[in-house]
Amino acid sequence: MKITIPIEPVSQLRPRATSRGGYTRVYDPPKVKTYKDSVKAFLKDYPIKKFSDVELDVKVKFYLPVQKSISKKERERRLSHKTRPYKKPDIDNLQKSLLDALNGIVWDDDAKITHIEAWKFYSEKPHTEIEINERTN
């Protein structure tokens, strides 16, 4: 199954915590929560096969925005994928926020993933492409 999510990828940030009445509550920072909620809302009407009790292979391509303060030549290099994002956001944090957003929608728990591949690219239209397959031995 292939899905293109037309939302700018956001990396998972450290969770925030608050304490009230002797209880500690841990929550996602607002930017991450908004991203996860947006992904879930986009996929609500998307024809999705929900995977359960199977091992999964996942391939993800994150398309990040090109910075505005670069030369035209460098912009062309980035958009043609000759130069790829090698700085922040970290690819593992991008994966974490996406996979958590897909919990309960595409799979019960992202622990079902036994193999994952991920890439970062630049794009004028930031988005994420994800391919999910049942693992075959």
Cis peptide before 85 (omega within 30 of 0): no
Mean pLDDT rounded to a whole number for the chain: 90
d(CA 28, CA 21): 20
Task: Write out pLDDT tens, residues 62-84.
Answer: 999 998 889 999 999 999 989 89
State yes or no: pLDDT of 137 exceeds 70: no
At residue 14, φ and ψ (nearest 5 deg) are -60, 140
Task: Write out pLDDT tens, residues 111-125.
Answer: 889 999 999 999 999
Q: Which of 58, 81, 60 lies closest to 9 in space, CA to CA? A: 60
**What pLDDT, on the 0 to 100 scale, is given for residue 92?**
94
